[in-house]
Chains A and B, each alone.
Chain A
Amino acid sequence: MEDIIDVLSEKITKNLLKDSKLKLDPSEPLISTGLLDSFNLVDLALIVEEEFGVRIEDFELNADTFDTLEDLAQIIAERQ
């Protein structure tokens, strides 16, 4: 789980938000706070598919399905 969170955190800060100084807390809300917008979310789904071979469906890209790195890592671990 921690490995997944580390990879996700790095990809989100460097590739999506282009802010390598930013440190994300695993329990920090990403979607409901607006840190990730709808466009970032699709990119995140593509990253998850490429890195972990797990598909996050289009209807799952919202804060109800996952909002934090912990939530997303949990989904990835369950589906791997």
Chain B
Amino acid sequence: MQLPDIFLLAFLLILARLLPNQQLRRGAMLVSSCVFVFMFQPVLPVRELDFSFPLWTILLTICVYGAFSRQNPLRSRQNLIDFGIILVSLLLISLTRFITYDGIFTASRPPQLLRILPVIAAGAAAAFALNFAVQKGSKRPAQIFIILILAVLVILKTPHLAQLFSQTARSINGQSTELALSSDIRWFGFSYIAFRLLSILIDSTKGRKAELNLGDFLVYVCFPPTLSAGPIDRWDRFTKEYITGPKSKITEDILSGFGQIALGLFHKFILADALAKMALSAQNAQEFIHTGWAWAALFAYALQIFFDFSGYSEIAIGLGTLFGMHLPKNFDHPYLKADLTKFWSSWHMTLTQWIRSYVFNPLTRTLRGNKEHPLPQWLIILITQLTTMLLIGLWHGVTLNFVIWGLWHGIGLFVHQLYSRKTGAWLRSMNNGFQKVYTVCSTLLTILYVSLGWVWFVVPDFAGAAAFFGRLF
């Protein structure tokens, strides 16, 4: 999101909030969600792909709805209205090709309508077919889409596969395959959209019923303020508040929302952007000769990524507040936490909570619940922490350095959790003064460990990261 997008969204969200009832607000938000999926998509060098990705986002969401919903779409009047609104929005966006050669709501000129309509019809037919199977009690559609979404995530996050995808798309379009790059395949917001879709699919395979309308579900997945960088809200929490409508006063929400947006803008566009001038980056990692400057650049990066990401989250939360939605907190002073476990409970909180709900907790429960062949506690902690952090690393990209970054934190969490089990009672028995000094020292140690871990995160190749470590020590 750039500054004009933020101000446009703020204006539209206030307008939508001013509508006389929640039914109208839901309609307006459904149209906005469809439009902003297209507006946020950056221009891509592969022809028509910057139109296809947003279109696929919407069709995928409709298909996932078909794959979990127990409601018969043909018997629900609201679902038919929602589908009509989505269809009209897509057609109007497509028809803008006749207004200008550049896209109005799209990154480039939309393709011809005759090319778009069969894709929409195929998506809608697939959603109906999937829902027909779900009505008969089948969990297969949900399972298929879990695998499909994970496969797409792997392709998008693996540079080699993304490049292969680009080559294939270019060859279909008759474009030069030699120019194919992994960066051609930037599906806007997919990392976040995928996790929202996966959560409801996994819940449905476990038998949790989600009685949602199609439109409300699409707004949950594509809520414009959270499209670019989260937070990843839970579907049940989001839709409950969204369907009920705002309970707080509009004046209070506007004041509070703009306060959060102002703070987020300051963090992201002033502090983070200023720190970026001296922070470690993929481009400057090899330029540091002096150890002191290398450390300064590393700590500047640790602060930059925090202010950049938490600033984004504050802007998203502030925009949500303008519309009367209270989105979950994503950061809670992570660098002031006394240990790595607390750091990860306060850094990108909605992602870690998602991973805990769908990976860490079920895995730990299964391993702990095995009474016949119990594994030692330390081994369960090692397996679960490494798996969880490895997945968080891979979510950022399927590369060696992200794997090392994930393992770095997995090992750190493992060591800390074993250590805290041995020393927790001892520490609580100490006097207040000692505990304060201990907390300050452990906080500094946590900052150091997390900052050193960022080297793997920011430098893309192993040799470059290892060389930078050589300059630090």
> Which residues of A does B touch, CB under 8 Å?
17-19, 21-22, 34, 37-39, 41-43, 45-46, 58-59, 61-62, 64
- B342: nearest chain-A partner, CB-CB: A34
Verify A18–B425 contact, CB threshold 8 A.
yes
A–B complex contacts, Cβ < 8 Å, 7 sampled: A18-B421, A21-B425, A41-B361, A45-B365, A46-B369, A61-B357, A62-B357
Inter-chain CA distance A43–B362, complex, in Å, is 12
Determine whether B470 belongs to the interface, using a CB cutoff of 8 Å to chain A: no
How long is the Cα–Cα vector from A21 to B339 in the complex, in angstroms?
A: 24
CA distance A33 to B462 in the complex (A): 37
The 8 closest A-B pairs by CB, nearest first: A58-B361, A19-B425, A59-B357, A42-B364, A34-B342, A37-B341, A58-B357, A58-B362
Contact of B364 among A18, A19, A39 (CB under 8 A): A39
A39 close to B417 (CB less than 8 A): yes
Q: Which residue of B lies closest to A19 (CB)?
A: B425
Instruction: Given contact pairs A38-B341, A38-B356, A42-B368, enumerate 10 new A-B contacts (beta carbons under 8 Å).
Output: A18-B425, A37-B417, A39-B380, A39-B384, A39-B417, A42-B365, A46-B365, A58-B358, A58-B365, A59-B361
Closest approach, in angstroms, between the C-beta of A66 and any C-beta of chain B? 14
Interface string of B408-437 (1 = CB under 8 A from A): 000000000100110011001100000000
Contact call A38/B360, Cβ cutoff below 8 A: yes
- Contacting residues, chain A, for B380 (C-beta < 8 A): 39
Q: Once bound together, how far apart are the Cα atoms of A64 and B240, in whole Å? A: 15
> CB within 8 Å of A: which of B36-58?
none
Q: Is the CB of A37 within 8 A of B369?
A: no
**Which chain B residues (327-386) contact chain A, with CB distance < 8 Å?**
328, 338-339, 341-342, 345, 353, 356-358, 360-362, 364-365, 368-369, 380-381, 384
Give complex CA distance A45, B360 in Å: 13
Name the residue in A34, A41, A45 with the highest tally of chain B Cβ atoms < 10 Å from its Cβ.
A34
Cα distance, A6 to B133, chains bound together (Å) = 48
- A76 and B420 alpha carbons, distance in the complex (Å): 28
Query: Is B234 interfacial (CB 8 A cutoff)?
Result: yes
Given contacts A37-B420, A42-B368, contact A22 B360 (CB under 8 A): no
User: Which of B328, B341, B342, B356 is close to A61, meaning CB atoms less than 8 Å apart?
Assistant: B356
User: Min CB distance, B206 to chain A, in Å?
Assistant: 8
Verify A19–B428 contact, CB threshold 8 A: yes
Cβ B361 vs Cβ A61 within 8 A: yes
A34 to B442, CA, bound (A): 14
CB neighbours (8 Å) of A37 from chain B are 341, 417, 420
Q: How close is B465's CB to chain A, nearest CB, in angstroms? A: 28
On chain A, the residues within 8 Å of B424 by CB distance are 17-19
- Docked complex Cα distance between A45 and B361 (Å): 10
A50 to chain B, nearest CB (A): 10
Asked whether A34 lies within 8 Å of B425 as measured between CB atoms, the reply is no
Q: Assess the A22–B425 pair: CB atoms within 8 A.
A: yes
Q: Which residues from A are CB-within-8-Å of B421?
A: 18
Residues from chain B with a CB closer than 8 A to the CB of A34 are 338-339, 341-342, 345
B337, chain A: closest CB distance, angstroms: 8
A42 touches B417 (CB 8 A): no
Q: Whole-angstrom distance between the alpha carbons of A21 and B427 in the complex?
A: 13
Q: How near does chain A come to B156, taking the closest CB pair, in angstroms?
A: 25
**How near does chain A come to B176, taking the closest CB pair, in angstroms?**
47
Complex Cα spacing A78 to B234, Å = 23
**Distance between Cα atoms of A17 and B356 in the complex (Å):** 21
B371 to chain A, nearest CB (A): 10
Write out the residue numbers on chain A whose beta carbons fall within 8 Å of the beta carbon of B360: 38, 42
Contact partner, B368, options A21, A22, A46, A58, Cβ 8 Å: A46
A62-B353 contact, Cβ under 8 Å, with A34-B345, A38-B341: yes
